[in-house]
């Protein structure tokens, strides 16, 4: 996912807080974490491990918060997306973006559940667009980020999704801060654990969600319900291919239920970055990753044919 990314690389590397403070956060988080681990049964058949994200189809989806809708293209409500994925791609798992929901009212969620059941489709993760930052210096803003994520955890429960991915927004008043971010997401993870929902952090925004910053946050919290979401290509936007593979390796070492498959990324200037799919799938295999692979083609082109190609490639690497 790269919804709010590519804005700046100035904050790419976070400044770590003092070791003593970080250790205190880690000890507190471990004490608060439940002893049990997530209870999510994963399929083993290659096709059953594949999902299709709604993000690549953002130009088609009608929703009040979808800023990427292209009125020149035919539109669909998110409730139509499950049957579209089955019909066009033969896949029965989806990953709907929070901005693509018409709303989160009970009636709409009920309609969405019915559409999922009718198409025999499962939601495997909900990426959310949280505007406030988990590491903001203002406690009120951090509270808003925490509460907004809890709301989407409740939505995940209603839709039967095993996970949510909150976006860690940047903030003008602070560089990425491990201690504050860890304290915030620790509360989120504790809440999610009560509902058996896994919270994942994605290497999405190179400024506020650098993979190595996220790894430090996840390790500081040390909670079984806080995991990573490895995106195959987002870290390639730094321009350093080997750094991207190290980032993906670090993320898969902490992953559990969801990852994003793409063969490249495009920055704000239109420069394309390609990744080695075989090498990336080998990293996932070496990490003994058992979760879902969500197809998330991300380039300014028609997403249908590239999504089909990525599904075929994923099936070949998983078979």
Residue 26 has pLDDT above 60, yes or no: no
**Tell me, what's the pLDDT at 276?**
96
CATH number of 19-30+42-318: 3.20.20.150
Rounded to 5 degrees, what angle do the CA atoms 71, 127, 33 make? 165
Residue 34 has pLDDT above 80, yes or no: no
**Tell me, what's the pLDDT at 273?**
86
Separation between Cα atoms, residue 127 and residue 96, nearest integer Å: 7
Q: In the chain, count of helices (H) and strands (E)?
A: 9, 11
Least confident of 7-16, 189-198, 225-234: 7-16
Band of residue 252 on the pLDDT scale cut at 50, 70, 90: very high
* Percent of all residues in the chain with a pLDDT value above 70, rounded to a whole number: 89
Q: Strand 264-266 vs strand 272-274: parallel, antiparallel, or unpaired?
A: antiparallel
Average pLDDT over residues 110-120: 98
**Tell me, what's the pLDDT at 192?**
98
Task: Decide: pTM greater than 0.85.
Answer: yes
**Tell me, what's the pLDDT at 1?**
52
Mean of per-residue pLDDT scores for the chain: 90
Nearest partner of 181 among 219, 232, 154, 129, judged by Cα: 219
Query: Which tokens belong to 45?
Result: 């058949």
Which residue is it, tokens 């990336």?
Answer: 280
In terms of average pLDDT, the best of 18-27, 36-45, 137-146 is 137-146
**Tell me, what's the pLDDT at 9?**
35
Band of residue 19 on the pLDDT scale cut at 50, 70, 90: very low
Separation between Cα atoms, residue 106 and residue 154, nearest integer Å: 11
pLDDT digits (tens, 9 = 90+) for 36-94: 789 899 999 999 999 999 999 999 999 999 999 999 999 999 999 999 999 999 999 99
pLDDT digits (tens, 9 = 90+) for 263-318: 998 877 878 889 999 999 999 999 999 999 999 998 888 999 999 999 999 999 99
């Amino acid at each position: 996912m790269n919804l709010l990314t590519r804005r700046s690389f100035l904050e790419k590397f976070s400044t770590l807080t003092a070791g003593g403070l970080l250790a205190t956060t880690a000890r507190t988080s471990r004490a608060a974490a439940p002893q049990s681990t997530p209870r999510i049964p994963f399929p083993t058949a290659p096709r059953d491990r594949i999902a299709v994200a709604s993000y690549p189809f953002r130009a088609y989806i009608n929703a009040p918060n979808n800023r990427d809708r292209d009125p020149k293209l035919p539109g669909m409500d998110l409730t139509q997306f499950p049957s579209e994925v089955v019909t066009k791609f033969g896949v029965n798992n989806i990953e709907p973006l929070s901005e693509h929901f018409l709303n989160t009212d009970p009636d709409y969620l009920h309609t969405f559940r019915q559409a999922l059941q009718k198409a025999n489709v499962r939601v495997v993760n909900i990426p959310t667009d949280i505007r406030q930052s988990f590491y903001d210096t203002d406690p009120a803003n951090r509270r808003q980020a925490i509460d907004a994520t809890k709301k989407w955890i409740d939505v995940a429960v209603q839709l039967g999704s095993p996970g949510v991915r909150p976006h860690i927004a940047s903030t003008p008043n602070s560089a990425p801060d491990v201690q504050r971010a860890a304290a915030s997401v620790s509360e989120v993870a504790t809440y999610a654990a009560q509902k058996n929902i896994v919270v994942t952090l994605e290497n999405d925004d190179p400024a506020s969600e650098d993979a190595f910053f996220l790894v430090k946050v996840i390790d500081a919290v040390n909670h079984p319900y806080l995991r990573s979401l490895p995106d195959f290509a987002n870290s390639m936007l730094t321009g350093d291919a080997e750094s991207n593979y190290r980032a993906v390796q670090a993320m898969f070492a902490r992953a559990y239920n969801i990852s994003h498959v793409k063969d490249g990324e495009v920055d704000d200037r239109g420069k394309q970055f390609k990744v080695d799919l075989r090498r990336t799938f080998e990293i996932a295999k070496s990490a003994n990753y058992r979760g879902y692979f969500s197809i998330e083609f991300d380039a300014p082109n028609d997403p249908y044919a590239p999504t089909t190609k990525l599904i075929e490639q994923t099936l070949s690497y998983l078979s």
